[in-house]
Chains A and B, each alone.
Chain A
Amino acid sequence: MLEDPTHRQTVRWSDAGDSFIVVDTNEFTRNILPNHFKHSNFASFVRQLNKYDFHKIRNNEEGGGNSYGHQTWEFKHPDFQMNNIDNLDNIKRKAPAPRKQVHQNEDGGVQQIEELNNQVQELSKVNQEMTNQVQRLTSDNHAVIQELNTIQHVLQQHEERVRIQEKVINNIMVYLQKLDDGTREIRSAGGIPSQQRHDNDGRPSAPVSPENSVTGPVTSASGSREHLSTPLQRAQMLLDNHPEILDANPALARFRGLSQSGPSETADYNDFGAVSRLAQNGQRPAMSNGMSIVPEDGSATFAISPGTTMVEPFSNGGLGYPMHPPQHENGNLGIRGRPAPGRKRSTPFVPPNWQTPPRVLLVEDDATCARIGSKFLQTAECSVDMASDGLIAVGKLNSGKYDLVLMDIVMPQLDGVTAASLVRQFDSTTPIIAMTSNIRGDDINTYFNNGMNDVLPKPFTKEGLLNMLEKYLSHLKANEGQIPTQLNFNEHDNRIIEQGNMVKSGLKYSQSPSKSPQNAVLYGRPPTDTGEDPIGEPPSTVEDTSYANIIPGYMDDSTAPRTAGTFSSPGALAHGVRRGASEMDDNQQQLMDLDAKKTRY
């Protein structure tokens, strides 16, 4: 078209051939545009040209006017040239708007990416911080666990130390016992009732009672001195062998100081005297009961008739403790408050005030015992799980957590002792209490050697059971800390329960009639049975004996107010009278212990 000469005056190539010129816009619009476009509008044509990237070449009026005329429009495109048709394909409609948008999008994307990058970085930073924090917490946790382990270790050491203490105390008791035997012999020979005072010679057999007892075993000063010096020396030796105990046991330290300094420090023996007080409370009423003397106020005449066979065993079994008049604050007033025969109810079963119900595993093959045991435990507001033999018990302990295990010994499949030793291989803490009627010394040693913590003799009583709960589950109680319960390894503690219990029932050894049916019976246990627990026997037996001595001392103050009126079994206590002299020591510990136990309920 541009080459067409007929349009030369309207539209044509420029001279250089690199642009075209609309010479006469009016003519171009009127004659040419309608042939090629649907409109006849020059402005539209120009817009279209612009869209295809044609550029209008500005007329340079200053430069002497346009070479093609004043009304001409010259348009140029790099690829729109007169002799180069091939380049026409390169002439394309511009897409200015879209291209701009793309640019914007790209820019925005970059920004977004940057923002996202920033965010990711921030997040990684936060994540890093959190990881660090977790690591710190983890290490803290490790530290805490280590600390706990340390504490546990310390506790174990402490326990070990307590055990050593028990042993030492026990040995001391043995020597004192021997000493007292000597004293008794001397007194028997003399047969003179007289006041007994501590004679300031540091003799453990004759502690001074703060109350200045008016009656008591008679000690021949000259005779006892010989006996006394030796035990004290040996006790001294024992203590020297275990010096580490002393810092943990002020009483023992005092004891040592006493033995070292000899006279003038006898007052320190009041510690031991205090310990023994409850024991005497136990034995005195028992005696008076056996002798049909029931004092009205409990403080009056517990006069000991010399030569009375009933009395002799007591002075023998005194373990070096003098006979004090009973102390009111120790609650022995309640002792004579025994209900009349035929009482309908015993002391009410008061369940401990648990914070959370203790989980108790009762391992028992005998249906009767299991039923009663679980009922007792339920009444004590424990949650009870049952296992009918040792194998089941081990499985349950392996898979579940319990606060206490009551374990029968003789069972099918797996006996309780083996079960306990198996349990101890993966669980060293859960208290396991042997529940059995086999409570001879060697039996009990077996239980303890296999990781059992205590013995609850059959038939177990609510007192015995509550005692165990008190002893091992005090940490679960809502009001904790009133009664020291860190007392381990005193199976006599339990045995006395049984004895006291049997005492109420067994008629075989009864020798004297009594007012209450319970009083009638003195000792239900065959003498030969207890004969296996002589005094200086295996450490465990004796150490428990000695430990039992300590308990009443601890119990003295904290429980005194509650004891009055609740203690009610003189009959149970009276059985000691029947025992042979050689067994009195053992028995007496149990009496004391029973006394202590009673005060708790």
Chain B
Amino acid sequence: MPSKDTDTTTTTKETATEERESYQPNYVLPIEKWDFIDYGTFEQILEMDDEDEERDFSRAIVHGFMEQAEQTFKEMRACLEKKDLTQLSSLGHFLKGSSATLGLTNVKDHCEKIQNFGLGRDETGTTNIEDPEVSLTGIRSALDEMTKEYERAKLHLTEYYEGPGNKQS
């Protein structure tokens, strides 16, 4: 299952890149329905675009994060294979920072879980888990959930940036 997810991630990424020119969504999700992201946080980044209608700054941030996230997902899968809990925790922390900064709270929460599992604790970090296999299982499940959350966010973000609402003639 892990490998399958990795493939999916990669494919989606490539597709997204290709779609940048041709993507014509039917609709763009209204901002008030953005439940995949903390709009307050994300909005602060959007504000950094100032009056730039192309939104180059936030666009670069978002795309930078996507690359980062997908790379991290891959590394997490690889670490799961190697059962490298320490590295998994580190990766979880790494992605936690940037996802939180972007406002992708759901992704961030899963990162935190992975970070805690990797440290040999439960997902909230309060009690210790002695069995590494339990930790690995927890990470695997969190990673799957996180990937789903990420893909959903990515879909909407791609719509936001490449959809008709923001498309410049």
- Of the four ranges (under 10, 10 to 19, 20 to 34, 35 or more), the interface on chain A belongs to 35 or more
**Are B47 and A458 closer than 8 Å at their CB atoms?**
no
A365 — nearest CB in chain B belongs to which residue?
Answer: B94
Q: How far is the CB of B160 from chain A (nearest CB, A)?
A: 13
Q: Find chain B residues with CB under 8 A from A366 CB.
A: 68, 94, 97-98
Q: Find chain B residues with CB under 8 A from A300 CB.
A: none
Tell me which of B15-23, B35-43, B139-147 binds A: B35-43
**Are B45 and A346 closer than 8 Å at their CB atoms?**
no
A375 within 8 A of B: yes
Cα–Cα, bound, A270→B159 (Å): 55
Q: How far is the CB of B165 from chain A (nearest CB, A)?
A: 13
Known: A371-B64, A372-B48, A505-B40. A408 touches B97 (CB 8 A): yes
**Are B124 and A367 closer than 8 Å at their CB atoms?**
no
**Are A368 and B68 closer than 8 Å at their CB atoms?**
yes
A249 within 8 A of B: no
Cα–Cα, bound, A341→B109 (Å): 24
- Chain B proximity mask over A491-530: 1 for CB below 8 Å, otherwise 0: 0000000000110111110000000011000001010110
**Are A505 and B48 closer than 8 Å at their CB atoms?**
no
Cα–Cα, bound, A518→B43 (Å): 13
B123 — nearest CB in chain A belongs to which residue?
Answer: A526
**Are B43 and A346 closer than 8 Å at their CB atoms?**
yes
**Are A461 and B68 closer than 8 Å at their CB atoms?**
no
A64 within 8 A of B: no
A498 — nearest CB in chain B belongs to which residue?
Answer: B100
A410 within 8 A of B: yes
Q: Find chain A residues with CB under 8 A from B109 CB.
A: 506, 508, 524, 526
A531 within 8 A of B: yes
**Are A461 and B47 closer than 8 Å at their CB atoms?**
no
- Chain B proximity mask over A458-477: 1 for CB below 8 Å, otherwise 0: 11111000000000000000
Q: How far is the CB of A26 from chain B (nearest CB, A)?
A: 124
B1 within 8 A of A: no
Which chain A residues numbered 440 to 483 have a C-beta less than 8 Å away from chain B?
440, 458-462
Known: A529-B124, A529-B125. A437 touches B44 (CB 8 A): no
Q: Find chain B residues with CB under 8 A from A524 CB.
A: 105, 109
A369 within 8 A of B: yes
Known: A437-B100, A458-B97, A459-B101. A518 touches B40 (CB 8 A): yes
A379 within 8 A of B: yes
Known: A345-B47, A459-B41, A504-B38. A368 touches B101 (CB 8 A): yes
**Are A504 and B40 closer than 8 Å at their CB atoms?**
yes
Q: How far is the CB of A435 from chain B (nearest CB, A)?
A: 9
Cα–Cα, bound, A462→B65 (Å): 20
Known: A368-B61, A437-B100. A342 touches B30 (CB 8 A): yes
**Are A410 and B39 closer than 8 Å at their CB atoms?**
no
Residue of A367, A369, A371, A518 ringed by the most chain B CB atoms within 10 A: A371
Cα–Cα, bound, A379→B44 (Å): 11
Q: Find chain B residues with CB under 8 A from A508 CB.
A: 109
Residue of B38, B40, B102 ringed by the most chain A CB atoms within 10 A: B40
Cα–Cα, bound, A376→B103 (Å): 15
A435 — nearest CB in chain B belongs to which residue?
Answer: B97
Which chain B residues numbered 79 to 106 have a C-beta less than 8 Å away from chain A?
90, 93-94, 96-98, 100-103, 105
B126 within 8 A of A: yes
Q: Find chain B residues with CB under 8 A from A368 CB.
A: 61, 64-65, 68, 97-98, 101-102
Cα–Cα, bound, A341→B94 (Å): 32
Known: A367-B68, A410-B90. A501 touches B41 (CB 8 A): yes
Q: How far is the CB of A289 from chain B (nearest CB, A)?
A: 17
Specify which of A346, A437, A440, A504 is in contact with B97 (CB 8 Å cutoff). A437
Q: How far is the CB of B68 from chain A (nearest CB, A)?
A: 6
Residue of B60, B97, B124 ringed by the most chain A CB atoms within 10 A: B97
A349 within 8 A of B: yes
Known: A346-B43, A459-B100. A367 touches B125 (CB 8 A): no
Known: A342-B30, A372-B45, A410-B94. A505 touches B39 (CB 8 A): yes
Which chain A residues numbered 363 to 384 have a C-beta less than 8 Å away from chain B?
366-369, 371-373, 375-376, 379
Specify which of A369, A376, A504, A506 is in contact with B98 (CB 8 Å cutoff). A369
Q: Find chain B residues with CB under 8 A from A344 CB.
A: 31
Q: How far is the CB of A101 from chain B (nearest CB, A)?
A: 89
User: Which of A's residues lie within 8 Å of B, judged by CB?
Assistant: 341-342, 344-346, 349, 366-369, 371-373, 375-376, 379, 408, 410, 436-438, 440, 458-462, 501-502, 504-508, 517-518, 524, 526, 528-529, 531-532
Beyond A368-B64, A504-B39, 14 additional pairs, beta carbon < 8 A: A345-B43, A346-B44, A349-B47, A372-B61, A437-B96, A437-B100, A458-B96, A458-B100, A461-B41, A504-B40, A505-B41, A505-B105, A508-B109, A518-B40
22 contacts between A and B (CB under 8 A): A341-B32, A345-B43, A346-B40, A368-B102, A375-B48, A375-B57, A379-B48, A458-B97, A459-B101, A459-B103, A460-B101, A462-B47, A501-B38, A501-B40, A501-B41, A502-B105, A505-B37, A505-B38, A517-B34, A517-B35, A518-B40, A532-B126
Pairs of residues from A and B, 5 with the lowest C-beta to C-beta distance, nearest first: A505-B38, A342-B32, A368-B98, A528-B124, A459-B101
User: Which of B's residues lie within 8 Å of A, judged by CB?
Assistant: 30-32, 34-35, 37-41, 43-45, 47-48, 57, 60-61, 64-65, 68, 90, 93-94, 96-98, 100-103, 105, 108-109, 112, 124-126
